[in-house]
Amino acid sequence: MKRRGALQRWLWLLLALGCWTLALLQVRAWFHGQTDPTWEQIQRTGVVRVGMDATYPPFEVQDEAGHFYGYDVDLVEELARRWGVRAEFINIHFDGLYDALLTGKCDLLVSALPYDETLTEDVLYSPSYFNAGLLLAIREGERHIGGVNSLGGKKVGVALGSAGHLEARRIQEQGRIPLHIVPFASAWEALQALHDGEVDAAIADSIAVYRFVHDPGGIRYLKRFLSDEQYVIAMRPDSGYLWKRIADALARMKKEGFLQMLQEKWF
């Protein structure tokens, strides 16, 4: 009986080891594209279907003729070019993007999509390709403000009730920096007030700051972000190899200066 029990334990151990080995092989195959149905479909059809809400310039817009253009559109077309496939864009209301992805209506979501930690069990997120977080803007000739610690006694413009407004209050209260918060109706008006010398600095999201720096100009920004809002690409959770291809491509695009070129083009 003892011998039979020992034999059974060995059989169970061998079975467990076999299952574990099979699981490891499946994971390895997954990351080598052998069991990634989305990547296989893209390769089979020669098309990557991309869902976006094309109502958010300069990231994505659809004109009256049905043509898509914008930062995200250029990004996707560059991805498709590197993969040797064609990009097909599908205009979807922002609230329906994730449903469209999970029901297979598209392969990717690229739509100025913020990283959402609550959805990480439902989708895979790529590394960030754009940070829409808050920046501290100052006039071009300003040499005395080098960061938030230099804001004591300064007037700081913000959009009323915005994330920039909340950040200014946080700096004021937690950092105990006696800055003077000056609220405006919008981030653009706060930046215009900075341009005109009505305030000493402004806190606004990077999109507004980049656009103002480009036109009309007269201001600059400190490169260190005060907060982060990372834009990412979303895909279904079984798209492991596709995730790897996107992550590798984004890393190369950053190194090659392509992402910087997109920023300069669209902002």
Does residue 211 sit in the same domain as residue 241?
A: no
Whether 168 is in a domain gets the answer yes
Whether 259 is in a domain gets the answer yes
Does residue 117 sit in the same domain as residue 246?
A: yes
Does residue 139 sit in the same domain as residue 195?
A: yes
Q: Which domain holds residue 110?
A: 38-131+231-266
Dmax of the chain from CA atoms? 93
Whether 103 is in a domain gets the answer yes
Q: Structural domain tally of the chain?
A: 2
Separation between Cα atoms, residue 65 and residue 204, nearest integer Å: 34
Q: How many beta carbons lie within 10 A of that of residue 80, not counting itself?
A: 18
Whether 107 is in a domain gets the answer yes
Does residue 65 sit in the same domain as residue 148?
A: no
For the chain, what's the residue count?
267
Please tell me the predicted confidence (pLDDT) of residue 35.
80
Does residue 103 sit in the same domain as residue 155?
A: no
Q: List per-residue pLDDT tens for the chain, 267 residues long.
A: 444 444 444 444 444 444 444 434 444 444 554 589 999 999 999 999 999 999 999 999 999 999 999 999 999 999 999 999 999 999 999 999 999 999 999 999 999 999 999 999 999 999 999 999 999 999 999 999 999 999 999 999 999 999 999 999 999 999 899 999 999 999 999 999 999 999 999 999 999 999 999 999 999 999 999 999 999 999 999 999 999 999 999 999 999 999 999 999 999
Please tell me the predicted confidence (pLDDT) of residue 9.
44
CATH number of the domain within which 236 lies: 3.40.190.10
158 CB contacts (<8 Å, ≥6 apart)?
Answer: 164, 165, 167, 168, 181, 182, 183, 184, 187, 190, 202, 203, 204
Whether 81 is in a domain gets the answer yes
Q: How many beta carbons lie within 10 A of that of residue 122, not counting itself?
A: 13
Does residue 126 sit in the same domain as residue 76?
A: yes
Taking the CA atoms of residue 208, residue 211, residue 215 and residue 220 in that order, the dihedral angle to the nearest 10 degrees is 70
Whether 27 is in a domain gets the answer no
Q: The tokens 């739509």 sit on which residue?
A: 111
Does residue 168 sit in the same domain as residue 206?
A: yes
Separation between Cα atoms, residue 38 and residue 48, nearest integer Å: 9
Does residue 90 sit in the same domain as residue 163?
A: no
Does residue 119 sit in the same domain as residue 242?
A: yes
Does residue 55 sit in the same domain as residue 88?
A: yes
Whether 83 is in a domain gets the answer yes
Helices (H) and strands (E) counted in the chain, each on its own, are 9, 14
Does residue 56 sit in the same domain as residue 124?
A: yes
Does residue 44 sit in the same domain as residue 162?
A: no
Q: Which of 180, 175, 170 is nearest to 202 (CA)?
A: 180
pTM above 0.75, yes or no: yes
Question: What angle separates helix 240-256 from helix 71-83, to the nearest 10 degrees?
Answer: 110
Q: How many beta carbons lie within 10 A of that of residue 156, not counting itself?
A: 28
Whether 1 is in a domain gets the answer no
